């Protein structure tokens, strides 16, 4: 894996992690209503769950490439359309993230709450099918494919651990609350830009 390719994969994984949603709410809730340690446990659990979905996506795409190349091209095309849809959805979405103490978990439960919030979201699998279909080929070796899984898991966990450290500072927490809507719009624009670039590259 070249350094440029590593940066590209890391960037798209970071985009997915940064997108505001239920996962962000759970991690922040456990951080501010319990403590930083519980927030970190939640982040680690979420990253582990992301790694599981990334593994499923890599295995699934690998099997498709080997059995039906035309199906693989169709998957890449549909994936680009899905990314464009995600971008449009993020731009038109109106609701803000609400942080509350309703479903806060403590101790090891925080880890499993982070794990479950990722595992119980099938959109994450679709996301990885969309993203990783752009990086998969018959020339990939097992170390490259394993790197795809590890990068996804690590980037997600590190992003949320960074978020935990930020939101435990009250001033930063208010900034995240106030700017989550803006973050959503920026990520949406980046999704749309990425889908257009991938579409051009496909043809």
For residue range 23-78, list pLDDT tens digits in order.
888 888 888 877 888 889 999 999 999 999 999 999 988 888 888 888 888 888 88
Q: Structure pTM?
A: 0.83
In angstroms, rounded to a whole number, what is the distance separating the alpha carbons of residues 86 and 71?
22
- Residue 134: φ, ψ to 5°: -80, -15
Per-residue confidence (pLDDT) for residue 160, from 0 to 100: 94
Q: Which domain holds residue 158?
A: 3-202
134-167 residue pLDDT tens: 888 878 888 999 999 999 999 999 999 998 988 8
Tokens 């699934």 found at: 60
In angstroms, rounded to a whole number, what is the distance separating the alpha carbons of residues 181 and 178?
7
Instruction: Please check whether residue 131 is in contact with residue 16, taking contact to mean a CB–CB distance below 8 angstroms.
Output: yes
Per-residue confidence (pLDDT) for residue 26, from 0 to 100: 86
HEC secondary structure over the chain: CCHHHHHHHHHHHHHHHHCCCHHHHHHHHHHHHCCHHHHHHHHHHHHHHHHHHHHHHHHHHHHHHHHCHHHHHHHHHHHHHHHHHHHHHHHHCCCCCCCCCCCCCCCHHHHHHHHHHHHCCHHHHHHHHHHHCCCCCCCCCHHHHHHHHHHHHHHHHHHHHHHHHHHCCHHHHHHHHHHHHHHHHHHHHHHHHHHHHHHHHHC
- Length of the chain in terms of residues written: 203
Number of domains in the chain: 1
């Amino acid at each position: 894996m070249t350094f440029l390719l590593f940066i590209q994969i890391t960037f798209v994984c970071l985009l997915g992690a940064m997108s505001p949603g239920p996962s962000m709410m759970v991690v922040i809730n456990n951080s501010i209503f319990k403590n930083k340690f519980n927030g970190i446990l939640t982040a680690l659990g979420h990253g582990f769950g992301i790694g599981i979905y990334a593994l499923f996506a890599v295995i699934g795409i690998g099997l498709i490439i080997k059995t039906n190349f035309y199906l693989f091209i169709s998957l890449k095309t549909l994936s680009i359309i899905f990314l464009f849809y995600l971008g449009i959805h993020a731009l038109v979405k109106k609701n803000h993230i609400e942080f509350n103490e309703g479903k806060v978990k403590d101790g090891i439960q925080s880890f499993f709450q982070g794990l479950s919030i990722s595992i119980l979201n099938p959109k994450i699998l679709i996301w990885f099918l969309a993203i990783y279909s752009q990086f998969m080929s018959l020339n990939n070796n097992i170390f490259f494919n394993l790197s795809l899984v590890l990068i996804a898991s690590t980037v997600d966990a590190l992003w949320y651990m960074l978020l935990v450290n930020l939101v435990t500072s009250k001033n930063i927490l208010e900034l995240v609350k106030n700017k989550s809507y803006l973050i959503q719009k920026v990520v949406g624009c980046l999704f749309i830009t990425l889908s257009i670039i991938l579409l051009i590259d496909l043809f």
